Chains A and B, each alone.
Chain A
Amino acid sequence: MAKELEIERERAGSGGADTIRNGGVDDAFAAAERQWRERVARRDIPPAKTSSGLELDILYTPQSLRDNDPLNDIGLPGEYPFTRGVQPTMHRGRLWTMRQYSGFATPKESNQRYRWLLEQGQTGISVALDLPTQLGLDSDDPEAADDVGRVGVAVDTLADMEILFEGIPLDRISTSFTINSTASILLAMYLAVAERQGVPPDKITGTTQNDILKEYVSRGTWIFPPEPSLRLIVDTIEHCFTHAPRFNPISVAGAHFHDAGATVVQDLAYTLADGLTYVQRCIDRGLKVDDFAPLISFFFYTHNDFFEEIAKYRAGRRLWARLMKERFGARDPRAQMFRFGVVCGGSTLTAQQPQNNIVRVAYQALASVLGGVQSMFTAAWDEPFAIPTEQTAEIALRTQQVLAYETGVSNVADPLGGSYYVEALTDKVERETRTIIERIESLGGMVACIQNGFIQKEIAVEAYRFQKRVENAEQVVVGVNRFARPEPERRLELYQSDNAAADRQRESLARVRATRDNSRVKTALSKLREVARGKDNMMPAISEAVKAYASVGEICGVLRSEFGTFKEPVGL
């Protein structure tokens, strides 16, 4: 089929009188469009750009897709290059997973919230962990004192993970963990809990974010320097391939680049550049691309530029598939697939007229679905102030449910495919993204560009530029610089942090330390130290330490003393 089309295109030539390329743009249409453009040009048309600064035409027509090949560039859902989606039947076949980021205080409170969310129709769990857990500090560490159980749930030992998933069947519910530096430890804990529930390894599904490179740039929960961090990541990928083949050990995240200020195009380029780095590290380890690449997924923020966000996901799928095939010779379609989850909200939400955030999140959710999303978290409208209450969390979940069950958007795969505008924008985003990836590679690759602070600076400059545009009202933000009004005295019912939770968590950690077999812990930790000094996969040693109820802080302590810590390039 591809061959026939090639031949046909050859015959048609470029711009020939009887051209049949691309939806049959013929001379009559070209002439009509030329006249239309002449008439329209007499009007005063304000220029328009996407949020990334890509220039926009006033209208897109078949002529906009002159360089687009319907078979090879757009294709069919579930088929290379996956522009139209990773599954043949997309959301009619299976809705996206609704997964609300949630976790606070101790495992007991968070377990209750998860069960409540599942009762409300949520279809997966997304665990928010507190900063000490993310940074490898135990709840009784003085450095952790003010942050225990605050932005997420505290998990110190396997005992906490057992409580967190009590009564939740891990063979039927998939779980996503936003965890990076300590991902290997949390993964080992989760697999241990699943094992205890009697779940067979091939039934365990979920994700650990486990993307350290973006942490150095924009989320900040790094511990170790890049090299040992990358080794740990490859260890988890290798471990999952053999021990939990349906679990995604890494979710390469552009989310935090975008929320820190990166444009849509930078966001996609940096994310794919990170992804390529991880793939290369796995190849360097001797893993086969068709074995491990299907375990890699992606994660993004959907912000406000509706069509550009849709184009980001369509271009991301196509470019990733092409890169995996061209550069690494991936042949298994699953090894070429760019599967992704999203979060809607973040830095686009405003403290002013905060209930407008419900509307922003709903549009972002729609863009994500039209972009072909696999799982989604819709943030609550009170996110600019605090973590959500049960009421605001419910509206956030209902936003997805209304979209899924009332609007009909899930009925047809890639409903915007073939739109002159969306296809032209997809092409443009793909081209621009490739250019940035090549630039990063010419500068030494993503690791080098992070260590010298280049990426951090690109993003910060963009964030500042955006803020200035908001302040001089070039960039309209409703309720902030347009349609603003004096804010009434706010009577928001916000989440009240439970100050006693940290004490309860410290007490339960003390109980674990007092009742576990401490000699087993000691043996496990010295074994881990030995493995860390060598080249073997560290996951078996981490799993043994976890099963001995060694704490996150104790395990990280060993790794920190062996690997040292990352030195942040601080510059403006």
Chain B
Amino acid sequence: MERSAIRVMVAKPGLDGHDRGAKIIAYALRDAGMEVVYTGLRHSPEEIVNAAVQEDVEAVGLSILSGAHLPLTEKVMAGLAAVGRENEIAVFVGGTIPEADVDTLKKMGVAGVFPTGTPLSEIVPAIRGAVEARRSAAN
């Protein structure tokens, strides 16, 4: 059976305006055959959760370079849980993230963390793998 293309959303939560990384990831995911929705800057966790549900995406990538990754990610995870989509939508976090925070993010249920310097060759398969794992679990 022909699998439909993976739908993924790249989002910029909080007030951070650095979008070089977010756009590079969006281009790379699109080149890898995924359907990509990019939110643009400054969206609240609530808006991101709503958009993810409405756009029916299977993965959300949060790009945060402001140091506010812990509280913002926590709110996105709580928002997804509140609408019962935490197991269906895989959440990834990338940006200026100290190594000490990687485990904390994973404990929140984040599927993958990509600190500064993570190559696209690692990010793209990680997102694909997580989405495919969720698809097979659902079947």
Which residues of A pack against B, CB within 8 Å? 131-132, 134-135, 137, 143-147, 150-151, 215, 218-221, 259-261, 347, 350-352, 384-387, 460-461, 463-464, 467-468, 471, 480, 490, 492, 494, 497, 568, 570-572
Given contacts A384-B96, A572-B36, A572-B38, contact A221 B68 (CB under 8 A): no
In the bound complex, do residue B117 and residue A220 qualify as a contact, i.e. CB atoms below 8 Å apart? no
* B67 & A463 in contact (Cβ 8 Å cutoff): no
A568 touching B15 in the complex, CB below 8 Å, given contacts A147-B68, A467-B120: no
B115 touches A132 (CB 8 A): no
CA distance A272 to B71 in the complex (A): 39
Q: Chain A residues with Cβ under 8 A from B18's Cβ? A: 219-220, 260
* In contact, B36 and A131 (Cβ under 8 angstroms): no
In the complex, what distance in Å separates the CA atom of A571 from the CA atom of B10?
12
Q: Nearest chain B CB to A148's CB is how many angstroms away?
A: 9
Residue of B nearest to A219 (CB): B17
A-B contact pairs, 23 of them (CB 8 A): A137-B15, A145-B71, A147-B15, A147-B68, A220-B17, A220-B19, A220-B41, A221-B17, A259-B20, A260-B19, A385-B96, A385-B98, A385-B99, A386-B98, A460-B20, A463-B20, A467-B28, A492-B98, A494-B98, A568-B40, A570-B38, A570-B39, A572-B27
Which of these, A351, A463, A464, contacts B115 with CB under 8 Å? Answer: A351
In the bound complex, residues from chain B placing their C-beta under 8 Å from that of A468 are 120
Number of A-B contacts (CB under 8 A): 103
Is the CB–CB distance between B26 and A143 below 8 Å? no
Please classify the interface of chain A as helix (H, G, I), strand (E, B), loop, or mixed, using the class held by over half of its residues. Answer: loop
Closest to B12 in A: A220
Interface residues on B, range: 35 or more
Q: How far is the CA of A386 from the CA of B66 in the complex (A)?
A: 9
Question: Given A146-B72, A490-B99, do A260 and B67 touch, yes or no (CB 8 Å)?
Answer: no
Query: Do A464 and B67 contact each other (CB < 8 Å), given the known contacts A347-B20, A471-B119?
Result: no
Residue of B nearest to A457 (CB): B23
Q: State which of B30, B71, B116 has its C-beta within 8 Å of the C-beta of A384.
A: B116
Interface presence of B16 (CB below 8 A) = yes
Query: Would you list which residues of chain B between 62 and 118 have a CB under 8 Å from chain A?
Result: 66-68, 71-72, 96, 98-100, 115-117
Contact with B15, one of A135, A460, A464 (Cβ below 8 angstroms): A135
State the CA gap A387–B66 with chains docked (Å). 10
Complexed CA–CA distance, A150 and B40 (Å):
21
Nearest 5 A/B pairs, CB to CB: A220-B17, A351-B117, A570-B40, A131-B15, A146-B68
A468 and B99 CA atoms in complex are apart in Å by 25
Query: B42: nearest residue on chain A (CB-CB)?
Result: A220
Q: A387-B67, A570-B40 are in contact. List 13 more A-B contacts (CB 8 A).
A: A144-B15, A146-B14, A147-B14, A150-B66, A150-B67, A151-B16, A151-B66, A151-B67, A219-B18, A347-B20, A464-B24, A490-B99, A572-B27
CB neighbours (8 Å) of A463 from chain B are: 20, 23-24
A144 to B15, CA, bound (A): 8
Q: What distance in Å separates the Cβ of A458 from its nearest Cβ neighbour in chain B?
A: 12
- State which of A145, A261, A351, A571 has its C-beta within 8 Å of the C-beta of B116: A351
Tell me how far the C-beta of B135 lies from the nearest C-beta in chain A, rounded to whole angstroms: 25
Question: How long is the Cα–Cα vector from A460 to B44 in the complex, in angstroms?
Answer: 23
**A219 cross-chain contacts in B, Cβ below 8 A:** 17-18
- Whole-angstrom distance between the Cβ of A496 and the nearest chain B Cβ: 9
* CB atoms of B67 and A386 under 8 A apart: yes
For the complex, give the distance between the alpha carbons of A497 and B117 in Å: 22
In the bound complex, how far is the Cα of B23 from the Cα of A8, in angstroms? 55
Judging by beta carbons under 8 Å apart, are B26 and A572 in contact? yes
CB atoms of A143 and B99 under 8 A apart = no
Chain A residues with CB under 8 A of B98: 385-386, 492, 494
Contacting A464 at CB < 8 Å: which of B16, B23, B40, B116? Answer: B23
**B79, chain A: closest CB distance, angstroms:** 14
Interface: B54 (CB within 8 A): no
B139 contacts A by Cβ under 8 Å = no
Q: Which residues between 21 and 54 of chain B lie within 8 Å of chain A, taking CB atoms?
A: 23-24, 26-28, 30, 36, 38-42, 44
Task: A150 to B38: give the CA distance in the assembly, Å.
Answer: 25
Q: How far is the CA of A134 from the CA of B41 in the complex (A)?
A: 14
Write out the residue numbers on chain B whose beta carbons fall within 8 Å of the beta carbon of A144: 15
| Residue of B20, B30, B38, B67 touching A497 (CB-CB under 8 A) | B67
